[in-house]
Amino acid sequence: MFSLSQEFHRARRQRNQAPVVLFSLTNAFGLRVYAQRHPRDEQLGLVRPARADGVFLADGARRAGQGSLSLLERGARVLSLGRLRETLAPLGGELLASLRQEEPGSLTVVLANGPAGQGRPFSRLEALENLLGAIGELTIGYPGVLARDYLRRFRGRVVSYRLEAERLTLSLKAL
């Protein structure tokens, strides 16, 4: 069952708005966010109206680090969101249901390894950081909706990947 806000429902009903689909990859080094087009600050939740929640001081200055999202990279690298496959997972303690379960949900994502002029960012990433075991999330939202109200469609762990000269294919299994 998905929990959606009223803001998300209102934006979904407007026919002139295209959804924003983001794929985020988190490993021990930090968070990276990718989309088919370069994600804007407001789509990532980096820009929002000021609230009286203690993050801003009376003179308008911002407390360092509060409410911010530290990104290692963001960019338009999604070539294909491939296949999203889901099954119903049994609740804890249901032995018979767990024996009948076919497979956990899975997602295949293809990311661009960059044109020749950019130096193959995922090739460099593989040399420095480990892609296996990283956590990937697929979120869907709409312009004008706060990032915290986006629908988290899939969350999984990278179980395998294939790195080629022009692309990186990630295979994720649901958590």
Contacts of 90 (CB under 8 A, 6+ apart): 97, 98, 101
- Pair of tokens at residue 134: 């990283």
Contact at 8 Å (CB) between 45 and 148? yes
**In sequence order, which ranges of 19-144 are alpha helices (DSSP H)?**
95-100, 121-128
Scanning the structure block, which residue is given the tokens 């939202």? 141
Contacts of 37 (CB under 8 A, 6+ apart): 76
Contact at 8 Å (CB) between 54 and 69? no
**Residue 22 pLDDT more than 70?**
yes
Q: Say which range, 40-44, 60-64, 152-156, 168-172, has the weakest mean pLDDT.
A: 60-64
Using a pLDDT cut of 70, give the percent of the chain over it: 69
pLDDT band at 61 (very low <50, low <70, confident <90, very high): low
CA gap 161, 60 in Å, rounded: 46
CA gap 128, 139 in Å, rounded: 27
Task: Identify each DSSP E strand in the chain by its residue range.
Answer: 20-27, 30-34, 71-75, 78-80, 84-85, 106-112, 135-141, 151-163, 167-174
Residues 76-110 pLDDT 10s: 899 998 877 766 655 555 555 555 555 578 899 99
Amino acid identity, position 123: S
pLDDT band at 114 (very low <50, low <70, confident <90, very high): confident
Sign of the four-CA dihedral 50, 55, 57, 63: negative
Scanning the structure block, which residue is given the tokens 């958590």? 175
How high is the pLDDT of residue 143? 81
- Pick the residue with more confidence: 20 or 98? 20
